[in-house]
Structures are given as structure tokens and as C-alpha cells.
Structure 1
Amino acid sequence: MSQTDTGVGRVDHRPAPGRAHPGPAAAGPPPYWTSRRRDQLTGYLFIAPQMVGSAVFVILPLILVVWYSLHEWNVLAGTFEFVGTDNYAALAEDTSLPSVLTATGLFSVGLVAFNLGLALLLAVLLNQRLRGTTLFRTLFFSPVVVSLVAWTIVWGFLLQDDGGINGLLDTVGVAGPNWLRGEGTAMVSVIVVQVFKNVGLNMVLFLAALQGVPAELYEAAEVDGASRARQFWRITVPLISPTILLTSIITVVGSLQVFAQIAVLTQGGPGTSTTVLVYYLYQQAFQFHHFGYGATLSIVLFAIVLGLTVLQWQMRKRWVHHES
């Protein structure tokens, strides 16, 4: 008789009553450096230079400006005194500030209107399939890459009383004004100089947007009998409205930060007719050594730029195509 028949030598593999069946060996802790964590670390390393740059050159200066605005800092005397909100109270007592804000508003409105209008007009003209458009695109864009100070100095010579522009006017029997010293011509002159300097950038942006408008829409509009003007307002403007928003924000912010043109051409004159907020800030801080009040004016400028940018961004929902 075999062992199988008698049961002798058989090993019972059944668990004893009351004892759980032993499972597989417990797994160790999961690895820390998973693929998700490695991807996150890679992303953080890529944005680290930008974050460090923003912290050092944007956030920290803003904090320091707020701190300086609460003090009166006299570099010549070597004093740095806490004055609280006295610098902010001085804003209401500054008799020059209303004229400075008025000049800033006039410059910004004039620059934005002429720059965007001329840039859009040039883009529409240069979007035509005509000979020589590449040359004109280069000519209109070339001032963008020219040094701002060099550009302004050349225009300063042209706009002098005996400069090139008045010389051309004399050839046709017209006596030109003193462009940079006249109450009514100084601001216009500065605006024109700035428009010709940067109109090429907005022109290129508009041109790229125009080339992205489908030609089929114009063909369908022509079949329906729509005029060129109606096609422009009903098709072109809505489809390039995102670019209009972008260029308007860039131009508005740039107009509020103008300094070199004023410093080189008019020095804020005649009187305070061209003294914009940035140049007035420079005068208070670096000419009159009122660094605390200058820091306060810079906060006012920051608040104006931030407010206008937020306002433009919120208004996009009404007039920007494809925005909800």
C-alpha cells in the first residue's frame, strides 16, 4: 500500500484554524523621485531664472519704493527720516501736479491716437500686392531699431528755429515757428517724434494680423455687394481686434513712461507744458533731491499704469472678437 493510500507521509498545507493565510511579502515605500516629481522639478528649473529676475528687478524694487515713500531721504545731508504719509499728503498740496497730469494725459492720448491710426493705415496699404511694399516696410520699421537718444537728437536739430524743417518751409515762402519753444507746438512736436519712432512696430503687428484674415470672407462680402469701407469695419476690424488690444496696451504703457524725448527735446518746457509725470518724478528725485516725494510720484505712476491696463483688459469683452 502506498503512502498516498494510507496518508502516511502526507503534508497538510491547510492553515491551522484561527490563523490567517500568509500573503505575499509587504512592498517597500514608493520611490520619492517619481516621473511626476521629476517633471515638476524640470518645470521649476526652467522658470527659476524668470522668477528670480522678477523678484530681484520687479517685486523688490516695488517694496523699496513703498518704503522710501514713507521717508524723507536727503542724500546731500545724509539723513533718512521716517515721515509716514507726509509725502502722500504733499500730493494734494503740489500746485504743479495738475498741470503735470494734464500734460501726461495729452501726450498719451495724442500718441495712442496718432500711433495706432497711422500704423493701421500703413498696414492696410502695405498689405496690398504692389511692387515696392517690402522696401517701404523696411523704411517704416527701421526707426524702431535706431537708438532712441540718437533719433531724438537728430529730430532736435530738425525742429530748431533755424533747423531743417523750417529751412524747407522757407523755400516755399512759409515762416516756420520755433517748434520746441512754442506753447502750442512743443507737445505736438514731441508726439510726432515719438510716433515716427515706434509706428513701425505696431505696423508690423497689424500687418501680421491682416495677413491672417481669410480671403474667402472678403470674396463673400463682395458677392453680397459690401463696399470696401463696410468690409473694413465688419470683417477686418473684428478679426484683428486682439491685435488692436495688444498694441493699445503696449502704446498706452509706453506713452506713460516717456522720458528721453522730453529730456532731450524740451526739458519739460516751455513752462510745464511738456512736463510729463516721469520727467517730473526725475526732477523731484534727482534734481531737487526729494527722493521720498519722487518715490511717492512713482507709486502714483504705477497706479495709473496698472489701472489703465486693467481697464483695457476688462473692456476687451465688449469689442475683442472671440473673447467671451
Structure 2
Amino acid sequence: MSAAVRSTAAAAERPRGAGRTRADARRRSTLMAYFFVLPFVLSFLLFMVVPLLSSLGMSFTDFTARDVATPFNVTPVGFDQYAKLFHDAQFLHSLRNTGYFVVVAIPLTMAVALALALALNSGITRMRTAFRVGFYTPVVTSIVAVAVVWRFVLQRDGLINAALGLVGIDGPDWLNSTTWSMPAMILMAVWRNMGTLMVIFLAGLQGIPQDVMEAARVDGAGAWQRFARITLPLLRPTMLFGAVLLSVGYLQFFEEPFVMTQGGPLDSTLSVSYYAYNQFGFGNYATAAAASYVLFVAIALLSLFQFRLFRSQD
């Protein structure tokens, strides 16, 4: 029997509704998938997209607490809110504080985390699991609890000044000094966030092929040459991820000054997020929204710069 005859016979024996049944089953499966996805889509639109678009529109108006009862009667003002921000000395001061925090804290956190990851990966430190847990514990601890503890540690008679006194150094009043309050914030941020990057860097280090390192060692490359010529280039994607992760978090730093200094002394620890929070508390909702979107643009630009910086070295 030829193939054409066999296929004709098989088609004749097949139930007439078989193809339609399979199509119906696929349609039901597709509808069921949409049914399960629908709650997430609706909640995302309701609680994310709608508030984002509403706050963006609000930033182009003069909306304040007085307009809550009549939200549709607000006056559009274009970019006036943004222009007013960049003529506000307090906002510009918060922008400089945030930039200082980011520029100093990101490289410092990455350097400390990479050093810890290298130590754990090389076997210098015993009891690796215990050290991983110890370094990562601050990450999972409530930031408010951490800030309260550090507020006591950084007092005039706190633990840090007591340790400095043992070597004959008279420590400053960290949180009440316009010079030392921001470095104190950076110190706490590095201590709290180095555990996250340490785990990320450790995973990246363990993904480096050992045969490449062995070949470099056989060729006479020293420890620094292997680190500079092999480890760092192969860690570039991991470092990019860590830098972007830190940038997003550090540009929005809020809890530390809120708990420890309330933005003081003399606005020396006032961040853009804290400024937006204060404006919202004062009822200047449009100003707070505009400040938030300035921060959003800063995060986007910094992330783009980091992507280009790391990509240019490929």
C-alpha cells in the first residue's frame, strides 16, 4: 500500500471532530493562561502604572494639599515646578549631598566587597560559610534597627570614639558635625551593603575557569597580573550589575538621615529623597513629584553611564 493511500485511510479513520477538539483545547489553555496572568496585570496597572502617570502629570501642575478636594481644578504650569526646584537652594544642596554620597560610597563599597570576596574565594579565611552569613546579616536586618544602633555607636562617647581614644585620637561628634555627618552615613552604608556585593562577587569569582588561572600561573604571571589581566576583565559583567544595584539604592538613600540626623545638621545630610518627603509633608505635592522625577532621571543617566563605561572596555 502506497503512502498516499495509507494517509487517506488514516484520515478516514480519524474522528471528524478530532482537529476541532485539539483547537478547542489549545484555545482553553490560552484563555486559562490569560486568566491567571490577569490579576497581576490589573494590579500592576492599578498600583504602579496609574500612580506613576498620575505623579508625572502632577509634576506639571501647582497641585498642593489645598487641592485634594478638587483635584480637577488644578492649574497646569508646564515645567515651572522643575525650574523652581533648580532655583531652590535647599534642593540644590540635597542634590550635592546625594552626589557626594553616591560618588564616594559606591567605589568604597565595591572595593571592600571585592576584597572580602577575594579573601573568601582564595581560602585565606577559614569557616567561609560563617563569614558569609556574618557579612550578609546587616543586609537582611531592618535598616531602622541598624540606623538606631549606629546612632548610638557614632555618639560623642560612642564605640567608635572609644576605639579611637585607645590610640590617642579625639574623635569628632559625628552626627552633629557638618563635616563628619555625611562620612558617617557613608561608613554605615558601606558596612550594611558590602555583604550583598560580596556574595555577588564571590559567585562571579567562582565562575572564572580555573584552567585559565592555572595557565597564567604556569606562564609566570604573578598574583597582581592575574588579578588585573584575568580576574577583573572576567568580573566586568558582575561589577556592572553591582554598580547599577548600588546606584539605584544609594541615589534614593533616605532611611539613614531620617532616623539618625533628620537631614541635619544644617541640611548636611539632606538627600533628594528626604527633600521630596519633606515637600510632601508640607503639602507641596507637585514639588515633591517633580523632585522625585529629577531623581528618576539621575538614576537612569547614571545607569546608562555605567553601561557605557563597562561596555567601552570590551
Fold shared by both chains (TM-score > 0.5): yes
Matching residue's letter, 1:71:
T
Amino acid at match of 2:109: N
Structure 2: which 5+ runs fail to align? 1-11
For residues 54-133 of structure 1, the aligned pairs below 5 Å read 54-75=44-65, 80=71, 81-85=74-78, 86-129=80-123, 130-133=125-128
- SS at 1:127 equivalent: helix
Q: 1:165 to 1:315 in 2, by over 3 A?
A: closer
Corresponding residue for residue 285 of structure 2: 291
Aligned residue in 1 for 2:240:
245
Letter in 2 for 1:136: F
What is the one-letter code of the residue matched to 1:64?
A: S
Residue 272 of structure 1 deviates from its aligned partner by 2.1
Distance, in Å, in 1 between the alignment partners of 2:236 and 2:215 is 21
User: Mean Cα displacement is larger for which, 159-168 or 294-303?
Assistant: 159-168
Following the alignment from structure 1 to structure 2, what is the Cα–Cα distance between the partners of residues 32 and 305? Answer: 49
Is 1:179–2:174 an aligned residue pair?
yes
Change (3 A) 1:92 1:147: closer
Report if aligned partners of 2:252, 2:273 keep a CA contact under 8 Å in 1: yes
DSSP 3-state at the match of 1:271: coil
Structure 1 pair 65–102 and aligned structure 2 pair: CA distance change class (3 A): same
Identify the match of residue 159 of structure 1 among 154, 157, 171.
154
Mapped to 1, the partners of 2:43 and 2:205 lie a distance apart of 35
Count of residue correspondences: 294
1:269 to 264, 267, 270: 264
Q: Percent identity?
A: 37
Change (3 A) 1:48 1:128: farther
Opposite residue 262 of structure 2, the aligned amino acid is Q
**Contact 2:62–2:77 at 8 Å: present in 1 too?**
no
CA distance in 2, matches of 1:74, 1:150: 33
Shift of 1:133: 2.4
Deviation at 1:171, TM superposition (A): 3.7
Q: Which amino acid in the other structure matches residue 248 of structure 1?
A: A
Match of 1:7 in 2: none
What is the match of residue 220 of structure 2?
225
Mark the CA change 1:125 to 1:41 in structure 2 (over 3 Å): closer, same or farther.
farther
More deviation in 49-58 or 208-217?
49-58
Q: CA deviation at 1:195?
A: 1.1
Q: Is 1:313 aligned to 2:303, yes or no?
A: no
Match of 2:8 in 1: none
Which deviates the most, 167-176 or 242-251? 167-176
Return the alpha-carbon distance in structure 2 between the equivalents of residues 239 and 42 of structure 1. 44
Counterpart amino acid of residue 121 in structure 1: A
Structure 2 distance, partners of 1:41, 1:229, is 59
Give the TM-score, by structure 2 length: 0.85
* Counterpart residue identity of residue 225, structure 2: R
Q: TM-score, normalised by structure 1?
A: 0.82
User: How many angstroms does 1:39 deviate by?
Assistant: 6.0
Instruction: Report whether the alignment pairs 1:195 with 2:190.
Output: yes
- The one-letter code of the counterpart of 1:238 is P
Q: 2:139 aligned to 122, 137, 144, which one?
A: 144
Judged with a 3 Å threshold, the aligned counterparts in structure 2 of structure 1 residues 239 and 101 are, in CA distance, closer, same or farther, namely same
**Helix, strand or coil at the partner of 1:268:** coil
SS in 1 for 2:89: coil
* The 10-residue stretch of structure 1 (33-42 or 81-90) with the greater mean CA deviation from structure 2: 33-42
Q: Which residue of 2 aligns with 1:258?
A: 253
The 3 A distance-change label for structure 1 pair 120 and 46 is farther
- Measured in 2, the distance between the counterparts of 1:169 and 1:314 equals 42
Larger CA deviation: 45-54 vs 206-215: 45-54
Q: 1:256 to 1:127 in 2, by over 3 A?
A: same
Q: Output the CA distance in 2 between the equivalents of 1:39 and 1:238.
A: 46
CA displacement, residues 161-180 of structure 1 (integer Å, 9 cap, x when unaligned): 12222223334432110011
